[in-house]
Chain A
Amino acid sequence: MQTEQVKAMANTVRRDILGMICRAGSGHPGGSLSTAELLTVLYFEVMNVRPEDPDWPDRDRFIISKGHGVPTLYSVLARKGFYPLDWMDGLRRLGSPLQGHPHADRVPGLDCSSGSLGQGLSVANGLALGLRRHGSQARVYCLMGDGELQEGQIWEAAMSAAQFKLSNVCGIVDWNHVQLDGTTEEIMDVGDLTKKWADFGWNVIECDGHDPDDVLRAFTAAKACTDKPSVILAHTVKGKGVSFMENKAAWHGAAPNEEQFAAAMAELDAKEA
């Protein structure tokens, strides 16, 4: 994909996110919009997956540890062709495969259910151990929120991945500095993440999480590291792309009404014009 195509796809993903959440009347737009470029690059340029054979054993895996940010993933999987686009109409509705927090059982291409924060990196490690045990070259990606790093289990898993030299694990931190109740700095400062992850024995790569080329460079650098796990600290903006949502904790878990939705879509349209 050309950079411009990735940007256009990320914009489409943002429209999907806002449409899904507005229709559902609930959801988490802020931390979904912040990962649009990250997941678009990952699924369209980096990961080895087969939409026509979603359970292909040698596929790369993606664990969305920050389960509340799943609208981005639902959009990317639909746009990649794992299931029909109209599935997105049912987000959070009774009987829909697209649960409010992801349930893998019902969604082709979704590797693991999640929603209770702090658990995904352990799952990614286990998958990476199992894949290595079975001689597979597949890689495991795990998306975490920066607020989520307040969960202690993340750091247990960080130790394990280094201990077992899981170079097939690539963590991604959506470092947007905002959580439900306020900024991470005022609620519970996660501090110098670059130094923290390095101290835990990880290969640390920083990138601009909204620049497709820089994101791709980061994933490529991660893959090149073969003696320890890599983590991409992606500098992002919560609510990215919709000016009135950007950097606002209030938009962590609130759905736009029709009027707000129209204003947001107009902004995204203007970006493409």
Chain B
Amino acid sequence: MSVKKVPMRDGYGEALLELCRQKEDILVLDADVSKSTRTVWVHDKYPEYFLNMGISEQDMVGTAAGLALSGVTPFVSTYCVFLCGRAWDQIRTTVCYNDLNVKFGGAHAGISVGPDGATHQALEDLALMRVLPHMTVIAPCDAVETKKATLAVAKYPGPCFLRFGREPVPVITDEDSVFEIGRANILREGGDAAVFAIGAEVYEALEAAEQLSSEGVEISVINMHTLKPLDGACIERMVRSCGAIVTAEEHQEIGGLGGAVAEYLALHCPAPMETVAVRDSFGESGDPDELMAKYGLNASAIIDAVHRVIARKAKA
């Protein structure tokens, strides 16, 4: 596949500009990383919709909670690792307990952040956000979907968390692709196994599917953009049609997509399952491609996981 690559955060910035253009009652908050998160576009074009909170994530989240109490919809933007880690208690007790209409844009998630190293590679955020009552958790797969997801959460009640990476990633959806919060998108159907992927892993899963197909293995690929609420009906359908499940995410194996799907399978429809995820370790500095390979997150790792799960299905 040869496709255009765009960073997902561009979609976030474009959506925020559109919300400003429509004069929505929003305010974009950032913690001194506005060039990275693309909220600088709002700062430059609609300064009245932008507030730089300085390097103070906890205060930023609390301020957002107050704005939401006044009826304004705040978009809280910074690096994912500082947002979800540094300000978790603020998100839990002040935003989620009050069930406030605060939207979070977590940038630079996943190991593909690259050279900045482990401190800046959020690999725990999905687990941290998924466990919170009232929270909606979304990780779009490309810039076009990020834009749609940002516009969608603006209209969706309650706290919502959006996760996106740093690197340009292939654009695999288009303006006409459907995006509905909580409804997984089946991108490809095959009966040997089903790969549920989230974020940039969706493209890796599609690459894996192409290569597997050339070997005669046909898999389904599902874009699980919404981690919470989880599309259980889609999981059950795939268990029925494929009988073998793989999850793929740029996140710890514990608590993210793999954890959520494993919970669902164990409770509702047990089936052999393999995960493609970081194995309980921190990342390190390196080129994104090198890191994706070393930590077992690229298409080749997905292919291996598919082979493993198909072998388990055969034994079952």
Contacts and interface: CB of A to CB of B under 8 A. Distances in A.
Contacts, number: 116
A112 B98 contact: yes
Interface stretch (A118-126, A170-178, A184-192): A118-126
A118 B94 CA distance: 11
A134 B98 contact: no
Interface stretch (A9-17, A156-164, A220-228): A156-164
A263 interface: no
Interface of B: 27, 51, 53-54, 56, 58-72, 74, 89-90, 92-94, 97-99
Contacts of A105: 98-99
Nearest to B60: A122
Nearest to B64: A126
Contact of A126 (B65, B92, B93, B99): B65
Given A119-B93, A129-B27, A130-B71, A124 B56 contact: no
A79 to B, nearest CB: 24
A26 interface: no
Looking at B53, B56, B63, B69, the one whose CB has the most chain A CB atoms below 10 A away is B63
Nearest to B102: A126
A123 B65 CA distance: 6
Majority SS of interface residues in chain A? helix
A8 interface: no
Interface in A77-136: 103-105, 111-116, 118-131, 133-134
A194 interface: no
26 contacts: A57-B71, A104-B98, A105-B99, A112-B65, A112-B98, A113-B97, A114-B93, A116-B89, A116-B92, A116-B94, A121-B62, A122-B90, A123-B63, A124-B66, A126-B69, A127-B66, A127-B67, A127-B69, A129-B27, A129-B70, A140-B66, A152-B58, A156-B54, A157-B62, A159-B56, A160-B56
A160 B66 CA distance: 13
Given A130-B71, A130-B72, A122 B98 contact: no
B71 A156 contact: no
Interface of A: 57, 61, 63, 103-105, 111-116, 118-131, 133-134, 140, 152-153, 156-157, 159-160, 163-164
Given A112-B94, A127-B67, A156-B54, 18 more contacts: A113-B94, A115-B93, A116-B90, A116-B92, A119-B90, A119-B93, A122-B60, A122-B63, A125-B62, A126-B62, A126-B64, A126-B67, A126-B70, A130-B66, A130-B69, A130-B71, A156-B58, A159-B56
A99 to B, nearest CB: 10
A126 B98 contact: no
Rank and list the top 8 A-B pairs by shortest CB-CB distance, nearest first: A126-B66, A122-B62, A130-B70, A156-B59, A126-B63, A156-B56, A127-B66, A123-B66
Contacts of B53: 160
Contact of A131 (B70, B92, B98): B70
A110 to B, nearest CB: 10
Contacts of A131: 70
Nearest to A67: B93
B66 A153 contact: no
Given A114-B94, A160-B59, A122 B65 contact: yes
Contacts of B72: 129-130, 133-134
Contacts of A115: 93
Given A116-B89, A119-B90, A119-B94, A129 B51 contact: yes
B228 to A, nearest CB: 21
Contacts of A129: 27, 51, 63, 66-67, 70, 72
A164 B29 CA distance: 13
Contact of A130 (B67, B89, B90, B98): B67
B69 A157 contact: no
Contact of B54 (A119, A123, A152, A159): A159
A122 B89 contact: no
A13 B27 CA distance: 40
B45 to A, nearest CB: 18
Nearest to A140: B66
Contacts of A125: 59, 62-63, 66
Looking at A57, A105, A160, the one whose CB has the most chain B CB atoms below 10 A away is A160
Contacts of A159: 54, 56, 59
Contact of A153 (B51, B58, B65, B70): B58
A157 B59 contact: yes
A63 B53 CA distance: 20
B50 to A, nearest CB: 12
Contacts of B69: 61, 111-112, 123, 126-127, 130
Contact of B93 (A116, A121, A133, A156): A116
A106 B99 CA distance: 12
Contact of A122 (B27, B59, B99): B59
Contacts of B54: 156, 159-160, 163
A118 B54 CA distance: 18
A134 B70 CA distance: 9
A116 B61 CA distance: 14
